């Protein structure tokens, strides 16, 4: 008579673990983009807390993409990802049609501000927490119960939805997006958000594949950093060329 409740309890634990992680993600997203009460140092602390929670839930370092055994693989794939992103951005900045995509008023910064954003704010305040949340802890929890391709799809969709709030003002902040959606009128903000969700979902799939191939979250973190931080640095050049 006690076997059924025990089985039910075991089945409940994964759902509870996933629910807790999702609630943390929702709370952080709202605190960052609605309440504006998310300090730079909070992200790393929450990342550590999520890892400790995952370890408590029974995940090992390999399942979290944090094992030393896969460290070198993560470095190699990560460097390759940085090189590819950099090459794409070089082409993008050289072509006037795509150069406007780098003209984002949120990152129209002085050199010192851009360097601080690229090498401190983004890696510490964004990449560490998001990679640990989506492609370490959430990935590990999901991988216990569904196939890897499903893990990639689910985590990437959630990663895309994570970017709804940050992209609410994308159409007005980014000149390239604003120009492309000018004819949409009142729908431009909605289309910009939808586009951002789509692009970040695809980015999540690519990052997930890097994580899968390397076995290390370091690879996806490197791509994540390159996509964001190199965008800020190339934005310096774009703003200079724009006068």
pLDDT in tens, 81-130: 999 999 999 999 999 999 999 999 888 899 999 999 999 999 999 999 99
User: What is the pTM assigned to this prediction?
Assistant: 0.90
When pLDDT is averaged across residues 158-175 and rounded to a whole number, the result is 91
Rg of the chain, C-alpha, whole Å? 19
Q: What is the DSSP letter of 127?
A: I
Segment 219-235 shows an average pLDDT of 97
Residue 169 vs residues 56, 106, 165, 172: alpha-carbon distances, Å? 39, 10, 9, 6
Interacting residues of 20 by C-beta distance below 8 A, sequence separation 6+: 53
Task: Check whether 9 has a pLDDT greater than 70.
Answer: no
List, for residues 30-59, the tens digit of each pLDDT value: 888 887 767 788 899 999 999 999 999 999
Domain that holds residue 221: 3-242
> Which residues lie closer than 8 Å to 88 by C-beta, 6 or more apart?
none
**φ, ψ dihedrals at 104, nearest 5°:** -115, 120
- H/E run at residue 78: helix 71-94
Distance CA 221, CA 216 (A): 9
pLDDT beyond 70 at 174: yes
Name the residue with tokens 């390397």.
214
Residue 70 has pLDDT above 80, yes or no: yes
pLDDT of 77 higher than 70: yes
182 against 134, higher pLDDT: 134
- Please list, residue by residue across 211-222, b when 16 or more beta carbons sit within 10 angstroms of its beta carbon and e when fewer do: bbebbbbbbbbb
Domain count, the chain: 1
Return mean pLDDT, the chain: 90
pLDDT at 2: 47
């Amino acid at each position: 008579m006690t076997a059924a409740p025990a089985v039910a309890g075991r089945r409940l634990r994964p759902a509870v673990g996933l629910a807790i992680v999702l609630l943390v993600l929702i709370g952080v997203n709202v605190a960052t983009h609605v309440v504006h009460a998310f300090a730079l140092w909070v992200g790393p602390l929450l990342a550590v807390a999520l890892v400790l929670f995952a370890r408590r839930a029974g995940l090992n370092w390999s399942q979290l993409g944090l094992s030393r055994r896969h460290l070198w693989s993560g470095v190699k794939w990560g460097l390759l990802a940085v090189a590819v992103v950099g090459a794409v951005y070089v082409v993008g900045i050289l072509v006037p049609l795509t150069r406007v995509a780098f003209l984002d008023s949120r990152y129209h910064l002085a050199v010192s501000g851009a360097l601080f954003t690229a090498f401190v704010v983004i890696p510490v305040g964004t990449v560490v927490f998001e990679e640990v949340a989506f492609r370490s802890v959430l990935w590990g929890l999901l991988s216990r119960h569904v196939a890897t391709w499903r893990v990639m799809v689910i985590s990437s969709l959630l990663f895309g939805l994570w970017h709804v709030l940050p992209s609410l003002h994308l159409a007005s902040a980014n000149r390239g997006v604003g120009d492309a959606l000018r004819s949409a009128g009142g729908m431009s903000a909605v289309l910009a958000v939808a586009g951002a969700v789509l692009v970040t979902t695809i980015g999540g799939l690519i990052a997930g594949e890097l994580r899968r191939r390397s076995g290390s979250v370091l690879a996806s973190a490197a791509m994540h950093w390159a996509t964001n931080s190199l965008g800020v640095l190339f934005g310096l050049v774009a703003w200079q060329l724009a006068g």
